[in-house]
Amino acid sequence: MIQPVTCPICDKQLPPAASDSPCFPFCSVRCKQIDLSRWLDGKYAVVEDLTPDRLMLELTDPDDLPPE
């Protein structure tokens, strides 16, 4: 069974046509702004170094990546 898409902030279930929304993957502008605020406050972080070579590998075939 296909899992319904939910907002990553409030877990509200999104309708099937939500992917056309400018707020997607969020349910509302409010949730989108909460997410942005969390990034700006440093609550989220990208912790893995991403070199240009690794990025190209991930974009072409993630299964070919060497273990970390």
pLDDT in tens, 29-66: 999 999 999 999 999 887 778 788 888 887 886 555 55
52, 55, 56, 61 alpha-carbon torsion, rounded to 10° = 160
Residue 48: which domain range?
Answer: 16-61
- 13-26 tens-digit pLDDT: 998 888 888 999 99
Instruction: Calculate the CA 63 to chain-centre distance.
Output: 20
Note whether residue 7 is domain-resident.
no
Count of domains in the chain?
1
Instruction: Give pTM, 2 decimals.
Output: 0.62
In a domain, 68, yes or no: no
